[in-house]
Chain A
C-alpha cells in the first residue's frame, strides 16, 4: 500500500495535468470555431480591450519605466568596472526588448488580467449567470470567452510596445543622470543594437502570453465549483497556472528565437 501511494500521486498528478491541458485546448478550439462566426461581437471585444487593457496602463507605465531604470543601472555598474559604460545602451537593449519587458509585463499585467477574468467568470458561474446566458439562447463561449480571449491577446502585445518605449526612456534617464552617458547616445546605441527579429520575438512572446492569460483566466473561471470560496480557489489556481505557463512558454520561445536572432 505504502509503495503504491507515491505512484498513485504521480499518476493522479499526470492525469490532472492532462485533463487540464485537454480542457484548455478544447476551450481554445471552441472559442476559435464560434468566435469567427457572425455576429462577431465587436462591441464586446472593444469593451474588454478597455476593461483589460486601458485600465492596465498605470501599472504598465510603472513596470516599463522601473524595469528600464533598474536594468540599465545594473548593466551600467557592471560595465563601468570595465570602463565600458558607453555600451550600456547596447547591453540593455536586447535584454529588455527580447526578454524582460514581455515576460515581466505578462507576469504582472497578465496575472492581473487572468485573475480578474477568473474572478468575474467564477462569480458568474457561482451565481448561475453563465447558465442564464445559455438558457436565454446565447452562447457563453461566444459572449464571455471569445471577447476576453481576443482582448487579452491584442492587449498584451500593445502593452509590450508601450512598455518597451517607457523602458527605453527609463534607461536613458538613468544612463544620463547616474552614468553620465548622454540620453541621445544611449538611444542611438540602444536602437542600433536591435534588429527586426528582436522586436518580432518580443511581440510573438507577448502575443502568446496574452493568449495563454486569456485562456487560463476563462478556463479557471468556467471550472469554478460552488460557493464563494471556490472563486478564491480558482483565482489562486489561475495565478499559479499563468505564472508557470508564462515561464515555460518563455523558455520554449527563447529557444526557438535565439538561433534565428
Chain B
C-alpha cells in the first residue's frame, strides 16, 4: 500500500542554517509514527512541510502521492481538511471563545448547524477530558491553564475528523495524568477511527507506548527508523544516549 505521507530526498534550509539534507521517510496510513531528536534540530519543521506551511528547497513531500509544494490553494485547503495539526503552544485564537476555536474548521469546511457544531464541540472536549467544565465552551483562551489550552487545541484539531493528525510536542507542560490522557487519546483515535498520527515528542514513554514506529532525527536526516523495540535496542551511541538521556560534561 502506498504511504499516506512521504518525504523523499528533502532539502530544507533557513538562510545558512541547513535543517534537512537528502531527508526521507514515509508514514503508512493508520500508523502512529513518532519523531524524536534533539531540541532545535527541526522536528517541528518536518510537520509544517507536510501541510505546506513551509516551502522546501528540493525533494518531494507527498500526501497520497500528490506533491504538497505544487498544490494550489484549493488542493491545500483539501489537504488541510484531512491533515490537522496540534501546535506546540496550542495556538488557540485569543480573540475567540473555546467554542469558536473548536468549531473553526467546521465553519470553514462544513455547513453544520450551530446545534450540530455545539454537540460536536462538546464531544471533542469530552474526548480530551475538558467536558467536566460546563462553562468551558464560553471561556476565552486567556482564562485557561496551559494544560487546558493544549487540550482545547487538541479538541480543535479533531473536530473536523481528519485522517491524519500532526502533534507538535502534545504533552510538553502537562501533568502526568494528562500526559497519559493524551497518550490514551492518540491510541484511541488510531484504534477506533483509524487516524494516522505523526507525533513530535521528547516524551519517551509516549514514544514507546503509542507508536508503531519511531524515527530519530540525526544530522539533518532520519537514519534510525524502527519499531519502539528496535529503536531501544539500536546500538548506535547517539540513539542510546538520546533515549536514555545520557549527558557528558565534556559536551558543554
Give me the interface of A with B, judged by CB distance under 8 Å.
123-124, 127-129, 131-139
Inter-chain contacts of A135 with B (CB < 8 A): 51, 53, 80, 84-85, 87
Which of the residues A131, A136, A139 comes within 8 Å of B104, measured between beta carbons?
A: A136
Which of the residues B51, B94, B108 comes within 8 Å of A129, measured between beta carbons?
A: B94
Inter-chain contacts of A133 with B (CB < 8 A): 93
Give me the interface of B with A, judged by CB distance under 8 Å.
48, 51, 53, 73, 77-78, 80-81, 84-85, 87-89, 91-94, 104-105, 108-109, 156, 160
Inter-chain contacts of B109 with A (CB < 8 A): 137
Which residue on B lies nearest to A142, using beta carbons?
B73
Inter-chain contacts of A134 with B (CB < 8 A): 51, 53, 80
Give A137 to B78 CA distance when docked, in angstroms.
7
Top 9 closest A-B pairs, CB basis?
Answer: A132-B91, A137-B80, A128-B91, A135-B85, A136-B105, A128-B87, A137-B77, A137-B108, A129-B91
Which of the residues B48, B89, B104 comes within 8 Å of A138, measured between beta carbons?
A: B104
Give A128 to B156 CA distance when docked, in angstroms.
15
CB distance from A34 to the nearest CB of B (A): 8
Task: Tell whether, in the assembled complex, residue B80 and residue A132 are in contact, meaning their CB atoms are under 8 Å apart.
Answer: no
Known: A127-B91, A132-B93, A135-B85. 19 other contacts (CB 8 A): A127-B89, A128-B87, A128-B89, A131-B53, A131-B91, A133-B93, A134-B80, A135-B84, A136-B80, A136-B84, A136-B104, A136-B105, A136-B108, A137-B80, A137-B81, A137-B105, A137-B109, A138-B104, A138-B108
Task: Tell whether, in the assembled complex, residue B88 and residue A128 are in contact, meaning their CB atoms are under 8 Å apart.
Answer: yes
Task: Tell whether, in the assembled complex, residue A139 and residue B85 are in contact, meaning their CB atoms are under 8 Å apart.
Answer: no
Question: 17 A-B pairs, CB-CB below 8 angstroms?
Answer: A127-B89, A127-B91, A127-B94, A128-B91, A129-B92, A129-B94, A132-B92, A134-B51, A134-B53, A135-B51, A135-B85, A136-B84, A136-B104, A136-B156, A137-B80, A138-B108, A139-B73
CB distance from A110 to the nearest CB of B (A): 22
Give A127 to B149 CA distance when docked, in angstroms.
13
Give A253 to B207 CA distance when docked, in angstroms.
62
Which residue on A lies nearest to B107, using beta carbons?
A138
CB distance from A37 to the nearest CB of B (A): 10
Give A127 to B92 CA distance when docked, in angstroms.
9
Inter-chain contacts of A136 with B (CB < 8 A): 80, 84, 104-105, 108, 156, 160
Which residue on B lies nearest to A134, using beta carbons?
B53
Inter-chain contacts of A127 with B (CB < 8 A): 89, 91, 94
Give A131 to B77 CA distance when docked, in angstroms.
13
Give A132 to B92 CA distance when docked, in angstroms.
8
